[in-house]
Structures are given as structure tokens and as C-alpha cells.
Amino acid sequence: MNGKTVVLSATSDFSGWRAWSRKLLYDRVAADEIRWTIEAPADLYARSATRVLPEAPSTTTIPRSLAALFPAVFASDAPDRFQLLYFTLQLLRDGTPISDELFVRLQDLATQTRHRVLDLRCQMPDAHNPDWQIIRTSHASALIDSQASALSNLRPAPWILTAPERTLCWDGQEYRFGPGLEKDIADPAELIATAREIATAGTDNAWWNGIAPVRLHPIASEIGSSTSLASLRGQAIDCQLCDLYGPATRTVSGEGDPEARIIFVGEQPGDQEDLQGRPFVGPAGQLFDRALKEAGGNRAEAWITNAVKHFKFVPRGKRRIHQKPDSAEMAACAPWLAAERKVLAPKVTVMLGVTGASAVLGRHVTVSRERSRHIPLEDGSIGLVTVHPSYLLRLPDEESKTREYTKFVTDLRMAISALAG
């Protein structure tokens, strides 16, 4: 029996494995005749590099249920994962049924990988602090590589991730891969400088094209079992529960003090929130911050979130014009808000505008009728409805703006006073 040795460039070299698998399947090379090895090419971390991969017609159609498992199995720590996946493709090519034992093994490996993915994502700080952040982790390089895009969405501001076998650098525009640091560096400035120096391989280096992202595929029935805000944020970045995820840049989760006793619920992210990955940072958010401060509150001690986590808009030239989310989109996003409130267990929930109030109360709300009073919520906490700060920005004259802003500050002051009640 003639064996075939296939050399992959890295443990995350999915494009190499896929190209060679297609070629070997076409040539009818059996799984037990292939030896998969890892050998880094000399230009693996070069700023630019080219690559030649074998080409062959596809001989296999992969069912969606199996295809969803492949990236997670590939990024697992199973020593036989390359052979296992190739053997699965071989069975599909030959029309041989996938055994229950094999399918369960693939599912188990994928589940273990996704647990590690969520653990890694939970280590990623949010974008509240725009300065460079350092994340030290012990996760394997294949897992880290599979999360480069997700981690940059979780934190659009710059960061360095360092692990024994990988350095990953995101400068706010693009991410670059590098080897692990040769020594432990305690000084943050020195570590950042060194990491940026060695993490040089980006989109111009063909060895890093085609890394398979491992996604978490959150479903509504499982979101409520989350036990931390970091876990919710880590899962939500992959949310596809409604169609808004497509045009939006990213999921924008809540932000603030995880021990907060007061939560502010708005409608949805706007243009700046979508770009920065933070709630209430655009013009309406800046007005909200000013009003909250005048009312005696502190954003750092509160939790700020939205009923809908993706930006809904229509393009108009270079601008993106806000569109109000519909009832189906609100219903799809409801599990995220419910889970946030369950984890936080706030004493006071301030509902900013119709969408935020309707999402919390579970019914249509007219702000003018229910504004500025304590509303008992089902969990025994206190709710308060007020206007969304964007309403104040749309008022036509300064007199109206001044009058309504004062009422808004009064509502916020009432909510803050309820914390002491």
C-alpha cells in the first residue's frame, strides 16, 4: 500500500486540508493511506506570500447538519481530526451511511470546541476603554485563528492576544497573525510593541486565507440558560435569529457594570454604535450621558442596552438611515434582553422610548400615557418609562428641546431615587 503524506502549513490550515481532501477523494485515496502533518513554510509569517494548492472536481455533497460541524471539529484538539473528517467525506462520496457512532463523535468534538470558543470570547474586554488591551490565554492556536474575525467584532478597538503558540494583533482595521512570544513580557507597552513587531501575516499572505471560522449558532431556547453577561455577549456576536444581522456590521450587546442595580433599555444601535460596537455612543447617547449625569447618575454604575441588538437601516448615498425595528425583529431579539435582565436582576429598569418599553412590558406602550411613574414588573422590580433621547434631538425648536430635556432629566432622577427606596 502506497501512503500519501500531506503537509499543512498550520493547525488552522483549513483551506489546505480542503484542497488536498478534494484532490485525494477524486484520486480515490483511502483515509488510512494518508498521513497528515504540520510543517510551517519559511514565509508563513511574511507580510505577503503566495501559495499553490491542488485542484480537482468535487466528488462529495455534504449535508448541512454535517457541514456545520466541520470547522469546529477541525479546530478541536483531537489528534486524528484531519483523518476523521476526511473519512467522513470518503463515506459521503461512496454513498455509505454515516454511523451513529461517527456522528456522535463529530458532535462531541464540535461541542467541546464551541465551549472553548465561548471561554476565549469571554476573555475579550469590550470597547469601553479605547486603549490597546492585552489578552493572555492558553488556548490552542487553531482555536484562536478560527476566532480572529469574531474577536475583532467583539472589540473593534485595538487589542493584542498572546498565547503559547500564537500572537494575534488587531489594530482596529485589520488583524495579523504571528508566532507565540519567545519570553514572558510583564511590561504592557513592551509586550504590545513586541507583539505588533512579530504579528506580521495578514490578508496579503495566502497561507492565512481560508481559515474556517467556528461559530456558536445561538438558538432562542438556549439563550436563557446563560449565567453571565460575558457569555451572552460572546454568543450574541454570532446571532442570526432575524435578518438584521446581514447588513449590520456587528451585534451590539449591552455594556456597563455587571453588578448594576439599574438598567437602561433603548431601541437599537445606531450608526456609530454599529461601528464602535458599544451602545449609546452616538448623538443620542451623548445626550443621554449628559442628562444622566445631571440627574445624579453614573453611566459606569449602570447597565446600558437595547431591545434589538443589530442596526436596522436603509442606505442613502454614503449615509445609513435608521429604521424602526418591527414586531418580528423585536420578538426575535427578546431572548437576549430577557437573559440580560435575568443575569443582572436589576432593581430598576428604565425603558427609553416605545420600543424599549414594549420589549420589557411585552405589550404596546404609549409613552405619554405611562411616562414618569413606577410600574411594577413581573419579577418584582420597578419599571419606569420615559422618552428615548433621540426624540429630544428631533424636536424643532430650542424652547421645546429645553422643556423636554428638563422632563427627561426629572424622569432619570426619579429612576435613580427608586434605587434607594
- C-alpha span between 197 and 398 (Å, rounded): 52
Rounded-to-5 percentages of helix, strand, coil across the chain: 45, 15, 40
- Residue that has been written with the C-alpha cell 432575524 in this structure: 242
φ and ψ of 314, to 5 deg: -120, 135
Distance CA 417, CA 296 (A): 9
240 burial level (CB within 10 Å; 0-12, 13-18, 19+): middle
Please write the tens of the pLDDT for every residue from 107-145. 999 999 999 999 999 999 999 999 999 999 999 999 999
- Specify if 327 maps to a domain: yes
51 lies in some domain: no
Rounded CA-CA distance 328/339 in Å is 18
Query: In tens digits, what is the pLDDT along the chain, a chain of 421 residues?
Result: 468 999 999 999 999 999 999 999 999 999 999 999 999 999 999 999 999 999 999 999 999 999 999 999 999 999 999 999 999 999 999 999 999 999 999 999 999 999 999 999 999 999 999 999 999 999 999 999 999 999 999 999 999 999 999 999 999 999 999 999 999 999 999 999 999 999 999 999 999 999 999 999 999 989 999 999 999 999 999 999 999 999 999 999 999 999 999 999 999 999 999 999 999 999 999 999 999 999 999 999 999 999 999 999 999 999 999 999 999 999 999 999 999 999 999 999 999 999 999 999 999 999 999 999 999 999 999 999 999 999 999 999 999 999 999 999 999 999 999 998 7
> Is residue 302, in this structure, part of any structural domain at all?
yes
Residues in contact with 43: Cβ distance below 8 Å, sequence separation at least 6, in sequence order: 49, 205, 207
Rounded CA-CA distance 335/264 in Å is 17
With beta carbons less than 8 A apart as the criterion, state whether 151 and 121 touch. Answer: yes
For residue 141, being part of any structural domain is answered with no
Total count of domains within the chain: 1
Q: What is the pLDDT of residue 31?
A: 97
Q: Are strands 175-178 and 166-170 parallel, antiparallel or unpaired?
A: antiparallel
Of 104, 26, 37, which Cα lies nearest the Cα of 59?
26
What would the pLDDT profile of 207-250 be if each residue is shown by its tens digit? 999 999 999 999 998 999 999 999 999 999 999 999 999 999 99
Q: For the residues of 164-182, what is the DSSP string, one character each?
A: TTEEEEE-SS-EEEEPPPS
Residue 205 main-chain phi, psi, to 5 deg: -105, 110
Domain span at 296: 220-419
Per DSSP, the three-state class of 216 is coil
Cell numbers at 89, concatenated: 467525506
Contact 10, 143 (CB under 8 A): no
pLDDT for 421: 72
For the domain that residue 302 is a member of, what is the CATH number?
3.40.470.10
For residue 305, tell me if it sits in a domain: yes
Spell 184-200 as b/e; 16+ CB within 10 A means b.
Answer: ebeeeeebbebbbebbb
Q: How many CB atoms neighbour CB 330 within 10 A?
A: 20
In the chain, the amino acid numbered 417 is: S
- Rounded CA gap, 357 and 343, in Å? 19
This prediction has a pTM of 0.95
Contact assessment for residue 386 and residue 281, using Cβ atoms and an 8 Å cutoff: no
In a domain, 379, yes or no: yes
CA distance 265 to 254: 9
pLDDT value of residue 307: 98
- CB-CB contact of 339 with 263 (8 Å): no
Q: What is the predicted pLDDT for the residue at 1?
A: 46
Residue 363 forms part of a structural domain: yes
**Residue 2: predicted pLDDT:** 65
Strands 303-306 and 262-266: parallel
pLDDT value of position 393: 95
Contact between residue 291 and residue 379 where contact means Cβ atoms under 8 Å apart: no
